[in-house]
Every structure is written in C-alpha cells, then in structure tokens.
C-alpha cells in the first residue's frame, strides 16, 4: 500500500466498512445508481477526518469527485476540520471551495454532515446573502444546504435567517425541504421557545404540515396540538 495520505485514507475506509451498516444505508439514503456505499459509520468517518485533516485541497477534491459515498463524506468532514481552525481569508477560501462543489454534496446525510460545520461558521461572520442564492437553486441539495447551514446561526441566537428561509421555501415541492425546515424550527425551540411560538402564531397555517409537526415536537402537548390542528 502506498504511503500517500489520500490512498491510506481510501484503504482505511474499505477496511472499516461493515456490511450491516451498508444494508442500512441502502434503505435510508436511496443512493444514485452510480454511488458506491461501503458501510462506514459516521462517528468513524469523523475520527478519520481528524486524523487526515491535513490533506491538501487537491486530495479533498479527488475524494469529492469520486462516486464512493464515504469518500465524499470523509472529504467534506476533512474540509470541516480545516474550516474549524481557519480564519479570515483562509476560511473564506475553504467555503468558496465547498460552494463550488455542491454537486458532490448529493444526499441528505452529506448535506446535514457538512452544511453546519463548513458553511455555518463562515455565516457567523459574513453576509448571509449566499443563503438566498442557495435557497433559490434548482438543486434540492443546495436548497437543503441553505436551510441546514442556519443551525450554526441558531446556536448563536440568530433566528431570523431561518425564519426567512422557512417563509421562502414553504411551498417547496420536496418533503426533504419541509422536514429540514421543521428540524431548524425545532432547534430554535431548544433555545427560545417563545420565538418559535410567536413565529408559528403568525405563520403556521401557511406552512407544510410536516414542517409544523417537526417544529412543535418539543412543545407541550396542548400547545403542539393547537398548531398542528391549524394545518
């Protein structure tokens, strides 16, 4: 086996594959026909990303261009490790790299595992106009990236970008977007239940039912029923 870090990572991914995990992935991910699933658990991928965080961007690009699902996931997590410690122009360059390769972020687990930790930290210190561009994309996955990236903002007490996306995407045709919207609203309730309730008091009747159901999971049963019945 070569000593090149990229090839070591690829070899480790195959060594750590579990057939039972692969079978589960095939059920929940609905992979594209040309996608190869290995069956590597996400915590294992995160550990490998920490080990290989010094991969070059050329190596990360190679991982993202491949059709092995876990290679793309590992590449995204390596990128997240680099974003975590980068600052200023270096962080912006990594985010630009990510945004130029969203075509490789082509399943919900890849979106959810990367958007908050690659794009999210940059949003804390930058204009969030990029969310509007992503939300208006024809790509389901870019729209979901926009929504899930706001998780980092929510945890910092900034809810308005999420509320704006919920209203912008409430008529989206994809259930995966409706669910993501509800997930982010539920996360707001973890930090500020009143902010969520005030928003739903104004807008719940116009939101997808599944969004409201997800959003209200942490509310008291009677409060939750009040909103769900309005859908």
Tens digits of residue pLDDT in 181-196:
999 999 999 999 999 9
Mean pLDDT of the chain: 95
What confidence category does residue 32 fall into, taking pLDDT thresholds of 50, 70 and 90?
confident
Residue with tokens 């690009």: 61
pLDDT band for position 1 (cuts 50, 70, 90): very low
pLDDT of 221 strictly over 60 = yes
Instruction: Report the pLDDT averaged over residues 89-94.
Output: 96
Rounded to 5 degrees, φ, ψ at 210 are -65, -30
Q: Give residue 33's pLDDT.
A: 80
pLDDT band at 126 (very low <50, low <70, confident <90, very high): confident
Which whole-number Å values give the CA distances from 166 to 23, 48, 198, in the listed order? 33, 34, 14
Could you give the CA distance from residue 96 to residue 141 in angstroms, rounded to a whole number?
17
Q: Architecture of domain 127-231 in CATH?
A: Alpha Horseshoe (1.25)
- Give yes or no for a contact between 29 and 42, defined as CB atoms under 8 angstroms apart: no
pLDDT band at 31; cut points 50, 70, 90:
confident
**Tokens 């809810």, residue?**
159
Q: What is the pLDDT of residue 38?
A: 97
pLDDT on residue 60: 98
pLDDT of 69 higher than 60? yes
Domain segments of the chain: what residues? 1-103, 127-231
For residue 30, the model assigns a pLDDT of 83
> Percentage of the chain with pLDDT > 70?
98
Sort 102 into a burial class: Cβ within 10 Å, 0-12 / 13-18 / 19+: buried
How much is the pLDDT for 127? 79
Residues 55-65, mean pLDDT to the nearest whole number: 97
Give the pLDDT band of residue 138 (cuts 50, 70, 90): very high
- Rounded CA gap, 142 and 102, in Å? 7
Predicted local distance difference test score (pLDDT) of residue 229:
84
For every residue of the chain, which 3-state class applies, written as one string?
CCCCHHHHHHHHHHHCCCHHHHHHHHHHHCCCCCCECCCCCHHHHHHHHHHCCCCCHHHHHHHHHCCEHHHHHHHHHHHHHHHHHCCHHHHHHHHHHHHCCHHHCCCHHHHHHHHHHHHHHHHCCCCCHHHHHHHCCCCHHHHHHHHHHHHHHHHCCCCHHHHHHHHHCCCCCCHHHHHHHHHHHHHHHHHCHHHHHHHHHHHHHHCCHHHHHHHCCCCCHHHHHHHHCCC
- What mean pLDDT do residues 37-59 have? 97
Is pLDDT above 70 for 90? yes
Whether 166 shows a pLDDT value over 80: the answer reads yes
CA 128/CA 113 separation, integer angstroms: 20
Judge contact between 149 and 112, C-beta under 8 A: no
């Amino acid at each position: 086996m070569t000593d090149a870090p990229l090839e070591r990572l690829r070899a480790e991914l195959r060594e750590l594959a579990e057939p039972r995990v692969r079978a589960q992935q095939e059920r929940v991910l609905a992979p594209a026909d040309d996608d190869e699933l290995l069956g590597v658990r996400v915590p294992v991928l995160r550990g490998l990303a920490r080990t290989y965080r010094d991969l070059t961007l050329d190596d990360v690009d190679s991982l993202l261009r491949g059709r092995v699902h876990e290679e793309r996931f590992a590449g995204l997590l390596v990128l997240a490790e680099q974003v975590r410690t980068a600052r200023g122009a270096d962080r912006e360059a990594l985010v630009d790299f990510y945004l130029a390769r969203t075509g490789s972020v082509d399943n919900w687990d890849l979106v959810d595992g990367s958007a908050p930790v690659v794009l999210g930290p940059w949003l804390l210190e930058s204009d969030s106009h990029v969310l509007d561009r992503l939300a208006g994309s024809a790509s389901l996955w870019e729209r979901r990236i926009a929504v899930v990236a706001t998780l980092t903002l929510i945890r910092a007490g900034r809810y308005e970008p999420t509320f704006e996306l919920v209203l912008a995407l409430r008529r989206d045709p994809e259930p995966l977007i409706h669910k993501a919207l509800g997930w982010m609203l539920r996360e707001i309730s973890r930090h500020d239940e009143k902010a969520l309730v005030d928003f739903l008091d104004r807008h719940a009747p116009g939101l997808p039912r599944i969004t409201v159901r997800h959003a209200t999971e942490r509310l008291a049963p009677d409060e939750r029923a009040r909103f769900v019945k309005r859908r």
